[in-house]
Structure 1
Amino acid sequence: MTEASAPILLFDSGVGGLSVLAELRAQLPDAPIIYAADNAGLPYGNKTEAQIAARVAGLLGRMTERYRPRLVCIACNTASTIALGMVREVLEVPIVGTVPAIKPAAALTETGTIGLLGTEATIRQGYVDRLEAEFAQGKRLLRHGAPGLVAAAEARLRGEPVDRAAYARAAAGLRDQPGGETIDTVVLACTHFPLVERELAEVFGPGVGFVHGAQGIARRVAHLTEGQAFVRTSPDLALFTRDGEDVAALLPALAHYGLNRMEIL
């Protein structure tokens, strides 16, 4: 039987998974949460698949042993598309991953042209190819790796100014491809990107909608924990793999998301 105080562990390379946490709070307000950010490994997008798989599996192994979560949510598209299978093999807790929201985007598009913004590691995965083949047949899916948006989202949450050019470059990366002018739906295939959706909407202009998987992930977590008791015996925890001034600068944003304790792994 699951301990009522056993937390849900949300894992991301940085603070992008806070977009998932916001949805999870809406559905499971009483669930104790540990939000784990591998900021020592950030960014994941420029690492090899082998590096990411080994790092994610190793860290989640240590975290589950120490904190005994009832469920682990990998709130990171890059880590999920690469390491989800390996993690499920080695951990004996339910694992929820994050996948690019190509299925809902295909249902929404009216022009038939979908843009996908992700990390460079995510957009090259065969997993994305399979999602495209299954759900976006007859559509055009244009992909662009936008690592600058990860840095922009992290900086924005630290309260630092962000150069608007970072958002314009991401939009141009899709718009400048053949057929890019007809994009009407953009998949935000990195959990960092919904944190800057408003800024992206400004540079893409009217007539473009955005989709991401946070609500679906939260629904899946709620389904897997249905009927379980939740008791919060201490304030929810933000866990980092590296300390530093940039982490301290995040404290107000973390508190906004209900994370009122911080530890370094």
Structure 2
Amino acid sequence: MSQPILIFDSGVGGLSVLGPIRERLPRAPIVYVADTGGFPYGTKTEMEVATRVCALLGRLTERYRPRLIVIACNTASTIALAHVRAALEVPVVGTVPAIKPAAETSTARAIGVLGTEATVRQPYVNRLAADFAADCLVLRHGSAKLVEMAEAELRGRPQALSDYAAVLAGLLDQPGGERIDTVVLACTHFPLVRDRLAAASPRPLTFVDGAEGIGRRTAHLLAGAEWDGEATGRAVLTSRNGEIDALRPALARFGLTELDYL
């Protein structure tokens, strides 16, 4: 395999980013890393996330020699991106909560940010809101439950619409939440269940995420790059558990037909 693009997430969420990258760079070999041994990140402390992500990406860089790394995880990016860039001599693309495009979309000037607990409390989110949505009401809700639900859906276990409605209620039932018309999906797991969220919503909402922007940025940084042979897709997991077989069909749908363990 020639130097691949390495896509890193705590679980299956980064698959929502893989699609736009594949569309723009169809011949690029992909190594998709799911940190199943550290999942979930959203309930961990900042120190735990930063330490783990830096250590893992150091090992993965030594093993796979990637041409570029995509941290396809809002939690890992908002906490560890600067540390990773300082430690590695590889271009690193992070994942930014899509507050800017949400502000450009909202007509009600009221935005919801739906992410993990760790993401929504980050000062970085405050800066994005101040820089790009200063004239908007910006409400936030962190949900570890929705991350687990997305993981279950990818393993073939549909989740009840009432559970999705309960997650949305944590955002929409806040004071001012009745004004929200646009919701930022600030966790890469959440676009995987966008249709379920829309079906459970008490009113029409526009859901916005950053996957297309990541695809564009990755393609820009790798403009002119050439790869030998056919595109390949390899999934790398950091633990072995009893649900790997349930996950294989979903990985294969995204072109990840080979499986490794770190």
Alignment of 1:1-265 (within 5 A): 5-232=2-229, 235-265=232-262
Partner amino acid, structure 1, of 2:86: E
- Structure 1 stretch displaced more, 188-197 or 4-13: 4-13
Which structure 1 residue ranges, 5 or more long, are not aligned?
none
4+ aligned runs moved over 6 Å, structure 1: none
Percent identity over paired residues: 59
2: CA distance, partners of 1:106 / 1:127: 16
Letter paired with 1:176: D
Offset, 1:205? 4.0
The residue type paired with residue 224 of structure 1 is L
The amino acid across from 1:138 in the alignment is D
SS of aligned partner of 2:141? strand
Amino acid at match of 1:42: F
Deviations 1:153-196 (A, max 9, x none): 10001001313232111110011101101110000000000000
**Which one-letter code corresponds to 1:181 in the other structure?**
E
Letter in 1 for 2:92: I
CA distance in 2, matches of 1:235, 1:216: 23
TM-score (norm 1): 0.97
Asked whether the equivalents of residues 16 and 76 of structure 1 are also in contact (C-alpha less than 8 Å), the reply is yes
Aligned residues: 262
Mapped to 1, the partners of 2:127 and 2:84 lie a distance apart of: 20
- The two structures, once aligned, show a CA RMSD in angstroms of 1.1
User: Contact (CA 8 Å) 2:26, 2:231: kept in 1 or not?
Assistant: no
- Distance in 1 (alpha carbons) for counterparts of 2:159 and 2:168: 16
